[in-house]
Amino acid sequence: MVAMDLIDIGANLTHESFDHDRNAVLQRAREAGVVQQVVTGASREHSPTALRLAQAHPGELYATAGVHPHHATEYTDECDAEMRALHAHPEVVAVGECGLDYFRDFSPRPAQRKAFERQLQIAVDLAVDGVGKPLFLHQRDAHDDFVAMMKNFDGRLGPAVVHCFTGTKKELFDCLDQDWHIGITGWLCDERRGLHLRELVKNIPANRLMIETDAPYLLPRTVKPQPSHRRNEPMYLAHIVAELARDRGEEIEITAAATTATARAFFRLPTPA
Ligand SMILES: [Zn+2]
């Protein structure tokens, strides 16, 4: 395996499945070349935990703070204040995970739209030199509403990444037309539902492309042998970048270096010493 520096922009390291061996998971990630990770904060409960993890691993782990559409009903005024307090910490590098999910509809759609709108407002309010705080976005089966809501904030939002992109060619081009970034996960490796992505990823400019595991979810189906516990880990980012590079017709080193440079610029991460 070639030496490469990778950044996992979406790891749910606060998930309870990591509670018994989180340090070993981090060590395996390092050995696989994952030099930095952005820990996803996706609820009132887990966003503070994501920050604490980042604080415990300075320069290596960073965090997002947000409320996932599945948890939209918990987005009260008090929750909004909690999110704003979390964003005062320098380790919190993006607003999210937030967005819309009409596939599962775990929260009513009006509540999803309200929670999303309030978090977009946070990103606007935290602008530095006129550039809004980066956004870590989730969208599933809600493309039209999602684009419309983002457009309501036109000219006021900073950089945005549509994480775990799984959509159609039209949706991809809509996102790229808006100059949004695209996060690619091991969904790419799913022969049942990810085949279309293998064609689409060639269309993403290197300076808009980032990679993520979404661990512990979405274990890449092409990892052989499949671990018996089925848990995904950040170390499998090396597998994802290899598959992505093949689909893009690039050397792995090229895709690895480009996605790392893009992630570092997007989240404004320092290069580790
Ligand atoms: Zn998501």
Q: pLDDT tens-digit profile of 189-233?
A: 998 889 999 999 999 999 999 999 999 999 999 999 999 889 999
Q: Tokens at residue 245, please? A: 């590079």
Pull the structure tokens for residue 216: 């512990």
Peptide bond before residue 45 is cis, with ω within 30 degrees of 0: no
d(CA 119, CA 83): 9
The Å distance, Cα 31 to ligand 1 centre, comes to: 26
The CA 68 to ligand 1 mean position distance, Å, reads 7
Residue 2 confidence (pLDDT) above 60: no
> Does pLDDT of 90 surpass 90?
yes
pLDDT at 228: 85
171 contacts 129 by C-beta, under 8 angstroms: no
* Residue 136 Cα to ligand 1 middle (Å): 9
**Distance in Å, CA 140 to ligand 1 centroid:** 8
How much distance in Å is there from the Cα of 237 to the middle of ligand 1? Answer: 17
- Residue 251 alpha carbon to ligand 1 centre in Å: 28
What is the spatial distance between Cα 217 and Cα 271, in angstroms, rounded to a whole number?
Answer: 27
- Cβ atoms of 186 and 220 within 8 Å: the answer is yes
Contact 99, 139 (CB under 8 A): yes
The chain-wide mean pLDDT, for the chain, equals: 96
**What is the whole-number distance in angstroms between the Cα of residue 138 and the centre of ligand 1?**
5
Cα 164 to averaged position of ligand 1 atoms, centre (Å)? 6
* pLDDT at residue 273, rounded to an integer: 75
Q: Under a CB-based contact definition with an 8 Å cutoff, are residues 45 and 54 in contact?
A: no
What DSSP string runs through 243-264? HHHHHHT--HHHHHHHHHHHHH
pLDDT band (50, 70, 90) for residue 148: very high
H-run or E-run covering 6: strand 6-11
Whether the predicted pLDDT of 1 surpasses 70: no
Please say if the pLDDT value at position 92 is more than 60: yes
Q: Express each pLDDT in 28-86 by its tens digit.
A: 999 999 999 999 999 999 999 999 999 999 999 999 999 999 999 999 999 999 999 99
How many angstroms does the Cα of residue 135 sit away from the middle of ligand 1? 12
**Whole-angstrom distance, CA of residue 107 vs CA of residue 72:** 6
> Would you say how long the chain is, in residues?
273
Q: Ligand 1 centre from 165 Cα, in Å?
A: 9
Residues 177 and 150: beta-carbon distance below 8 Å: no
Q: What predicted TM-score, i.e. pTM, was given to this entire model?
A: 0.97
Cα(273) to centroid(ligand 1), Å = 31
In this prediction, residues 100-123 reach a mean pLDDT of 96
Ligand 1 centre to CA of 66 (Å) is 11
**Cα(254) to centroid(ligand 1), Å:** 26
Residue 38 Cα, ligand 1 centroid: separation in angstroms? Answer: 13
Residue from 189, 193, 195, 145 nearest 171 by CA:
145
* Centre of ligand 1 from the C-alpha of residue 63, in Å: 15
